[in-house]
Structure 1
């Protein structure tokens, strides 16, 4: 599932949608991270409150964006993401000067057509990067991204009485159920290394986004028909500011080495609405699934979307931190840190007038021991101020601020470098988080918090080259999850919603030795059963998905040529991504990349 281009990622049974962008915390609304600006994705398992504050209890996803290339890059890619949604992508980079001090990178994308289920989509993205060493010790960069995204006939949200299988290869919404977004992002960073003992790092981010969402939600009836609820949000304006400044110092006390970091980070998000905000209409007619895409757009009212923009709410997260990476000897080391975290909300206009601010000093501590050179063991404890949230537009108590609380994580683990290119890691963990959920009330549910969501688990991960020709990325997680310390006795011991106790995934690439340049790819992804409601009466079935693909690299007219083919959900499995969203149908994607 994704919203405005940002996927909802589940790590250790917890869902996170707020991305980290080159080390800066962003809010999900309006963040619009495009795949073409990303160089790599860093997955940080476990509570990440020390660096980024709360709201990422299971882990964080850090999108590291592209920089200039050391050698000239001229790449054109033409392809298809599935259905008829073809795209063209140009990636150009290099250096301005012979010494290689100043560089550039430009990525341009145009995408249009229909998805695999017939959702019209159109996207234009432009990403520009300038970077370089202003002096031998001072590096700076400036990045700008423009994103214009439109998608029609987006699949509805499903509120089910009985969890039935629904054909995911069809769409069930009319074209006017849409998601539109236009975003401008600017980012700049600075790194100064005045000596081998000190490094100063800083970055600043600004984003201005306009977005609009027309959403259909379906209430299943006893006779397997559906009554639609229609939500229309006028153009919203989201402004995201963020930045950090860190000072790293390296020194020794007696025989103990230290890398001490002092720093401050802050993010600010403002949402502005036009007029009276979102309009909700609840239907009274029963429809078959096949009839839903013919529903006419309702009359939203003469005053809908009129008037001037006004602030609906603002949110702020501040972090003042100090951390020390301590090396006692070749075998023993430790990492300790403190973060004075603040989360604040201010509501105006249609959400009412109120202020909320809470601060907490949260510790982080890890002890590491290397019994042999290739093995590292560790034990760690982390706390994070879990940020308060504003209840979203699909709930009856929209705009309500849920108070921030503390989340905790205990972990013990081992990492083993089997060889320089293959890493095995395993961990035992316990995570305690505020239990937040939909009460599934009708006709419109409320979003509430009560008790603790506790995840006790073990995970095993293997990544790297097993042989010269075989590369794998795989792992599994087993968890014992439950609700504790609830005010409602009926919730005590129940399983949290949308959290699978078992997950296993493996992706592999095999380079055929008898056909140089040809790699076969494939993946198997298993997600165990979950519950869709707090009473645990609605069970989301487990599912296994299969992907296959191939990549062929060759040279044509002395230019590199790469052809890719991927089949996603090979068997066309019908499944539920979560309690509200259908899974992805069988999708065939392909592309051709060439240098020029």
Structure 2
């Protein structure tokens, strides 16, 4: 079952966004004559192409324009597809183990959702974007993206509302899709891991005689292990086309279809006693499954269609539009644990099922130019960002029978589910108008000024019902100075907002969370070397936080996160690359409706974590690369009163890659090499989640 970050999620207080309009893009509709393919090269200046191992690539994540990481006045990390391939990753949230400020898979292995925290705050619902457009998720609605179709993963840390509207205060993750390269070639792979997962994939590029560039990505996987009752299926198909019209408009069209049919994994929804600490019965097995085979299923169908249009008017002005339509349908059922029955050494369970259908239409249009005013160069951008989201949801639940933790017997008949307690249609519409001025002057000075105003309307019809409208203005001021030798110190101030869904105990609709962030740092990309070192210190305040104390829900909380991040990526010597990260934070509740939580750290929040990964291409054995890594995850709390601690853990990773022959490669990767059994996090004394055990995988690839 999808891990729920709070009881409110289980109760289904969901809302997503809707604005029924796509901005028309007239240039793309002009008649086509001879097509010219768009050539995408490694290290291209679009900020969306292959990273190809570059430590300081151009990115659009922090400015919506192609800007090197060192010139963005916030901390940014970029993870290329080659990194995902080297680790044989099956999920996106497995990619963040060596990234400062980010915790991936905080609830252990969850096959149907990519979970992550950025700077101490959960970023899964309002901090996921693809090609610059939101993948909003709430309740059980949303979209699942497979890493096989992703060119790069970008992490923008800290407040981002000036660019993206309502978003997670800790930062966001942007997936950049693979698009046609404009060349002929591709790759295919087959892989297997020790849990019984097996997969095959193909990624093929080509160009027609008429100049149409195309790409076809496909992958099928048999999923198994982690305590699932039965094997399952994951599949994706993602075709895309690129061309340039006679009028010079660059057009890229993408589509993707995703199918998931599987059971739920174990190791989740378990009590603190028996996982973190021993009970009278000992410890619960890491793969223990609290579900019921006959009542356990997860089925997803999903379709996304995206258009990216860019027109250079030839006079210094460029117009870009990215639009996406999406649909997903999820049918899910599973009893799961919610409390320990110490008298019988069993876990009490809830029988739960839902059906959720989501539709979304999004469009972001921006106009860019560069102007000179005296000694100042202005790189100007103005844009309009529109979002429409609709989610239809039906949820039902009842108590299920207890399940023994020492001798589980599955198959006990369960009472039929009662009438749904939620049967509603939730819509959200957002319109945001934004401007940006990147000013360059003197000897390496860069000023960044941003402003954005958003109107967000949310409505739920059925049970429950609510209606709210938020109007918020966001700002960012940034200043940086580039010195010879590649050193760039910077400072920035930014505000944010994040719309909240549902009602308070008074019956009033929830207002948007708001807040601000101060950040100072330094980025070093030494001249002539492929290396980037980033040091950032931040102070982030999150206000209007919704808090529930017993049966009372108010909006008066303030949570503050202050911390330090250090990250290094790139080449230390010829053939030797490093990925290192260190994060030290202080996250605490400053104001709340429960005095026992004030001054305390919210549950599931890891405040200190570090990693070091090295990869070496042996010159003595051409084609052989060995790698290793160590990850330290600090302790966290299982409760907001900070009385139940979840201990720290140290994990080791390793890998070997060998080029067998021309175009052939074998890649062996192991995560959690010593097979440590540990608890990733807890959401109270009754909901703990084991971290993933050892996962060894072997992939054979052929490139052409």
- TM-score, normalised with respect to structure 2: 0.77
Deviation larger for 130-139 or 542-551:
130-139
Choose the corresponding residue for 2:213, options 103, 113, 117. Answer: 103
Counting only pairs closer than 5 Å after superposition, residues 515-526 of structure 1 correspond to structure 2 as: 515-526=621-632
Distance 1:529 1:43 in 2: 23
CA distance in 2 between partners of 1:344 and 1:581 (Å): 35
Contact 1:269/1:315 (CA < 8 Å) preserved in 2? yes
After TM superposition, list the pairs within 5 Å mapping 1:15-26 onto structure 2: 15-18=122-125, 19-26=128-135
Aligned partner of residue 526 in structure 2, secondary structure: strand
Matched residue count: 575
Over the aligned positions, Cα root-mean-square deviation in angstroms equals 2.7
Residue equivalent to 1:122: 233
Instruction: Find the aligned partners of 2:470 and 2:454 in 1 and give their Cα distance.
Output: 8
Q: Greater strand share, 1 or 2?
A: 1
From the superposition, tell whether residues 384 and 293 of structure 1 become closer, same or farther in structure 2 (CA, over 3 Å): farther
Structure 2 residues without counterparts, runs of 5 or longer: 1-104, 278-282, 683-687
Change beyond 3 A, Cα 1:476–1:437: farther
CA–CA separation in structure 2 for the residues paired with 1:488 and 1:234: 32
2:584, 2:181 → 1: CA distance? 41
Match of 1:80 among 183, 192, 213: 192
Q: Paired residue for 1:539?
A: 645
Q: Aligned equivalents of 2:284 and 2:535: distance in 1?
A: 37
Residue 244 of structure 2 is aligned to residue 137 of structure 1: no
Q: Does 1:351 align with 2:464?
A: yes
Matching residue within 535, 545, 550 for 2:656: 550
Of residues 513, 516, 526 in structure 2, which corresponds to 1:405?
513
* Distance (whole Å) between structure 1 residues aligned to residue 321 and residue 395 of structure 2: 38
The reply to whether residue 10 of structure 1 matches residue 104 of structure 2 is no
Aligned positions of 1:146-225 closer than 5 A: 146-155=257-266, 156-160=268-272, 163-164=276-277, 166-175=284-293, 176-195=295-314, 197-215=316-334, 216-223=336-343, 225=345
Corresponding residue of 1:280: 397
Which residue among 575, 596, 606 is the counterpart of 1:500?
606
Q: What is the CA distance between 1:501 and its match in structure 2?
A: 1.8
Distance 2:628 2:409 in 1: 34
| Alpha-carbon spacing, 1:161–1:350, altered in 2? closer, same or farther (3 Å) | farther
Q: Deviations over 1:440-490 (max 9, x none)?
A: 96xxx9887542111111111111011111111111011122111334332
- Pick one of 662, 667, 670 that aligns with 1:564: 667
Contact between 1:379 and 1:412, CA under 8 Å: does it hold in 2?
yes
Runs of 4+ in 1 over 6 A off after TM superposition: 302-305, 445-448
Partner of residue 201, structure 2: 89
Which residue number corresponds to residue 452 of structure 2? 339
Q: What is the CA–CA distance in structure 2 between the aligned matches of 1:574 and 1:154, rounded to whole Å?
A: 16
CA change 1:552–1:390 in 2 (3 A) is farther
| CA distances 1:220-248 after superposition (whole Å, capped 9, x unpaired) | 23458343332433322111221100001
- What stretches of structure 1 of length at least 5 have no aligned partner? none
Cα distance in 2 for residues equivalent to 1:108 and 1:511? 30
User: Structure 1-normalised TM-score?
Assistant: 0.90
Structure-2 separation of matches of 1:561 and 1:524: 29
Aligned residue in 1 for 2:697: 589
**Alignment map for 1:421-500 (pairs within 5 Å):** 421-434=530-543, 450-500=556-606
Work out the CA distance in 2 between the residues paired with 1:471 and 1:537. Answer: 41
Q: Distance in 1 between matches of 2:646 and 2:430?
A: 35
Of structures 1 and 2, the one scoring higher in RCO (CA 8 A, sep 6+) is: 2
Cα separation, 2, equivalents of 1:149 and 1:103: 29
Q: Deviations over 1:537-557 (max 9, x none)?
A: 1211111111111111231xx
Q: 1:544 to 1:224 in 2, by over 3 A?
A: farther
Give the C-alpha shift of residue 137 in structure 1.
Answer: 2.9
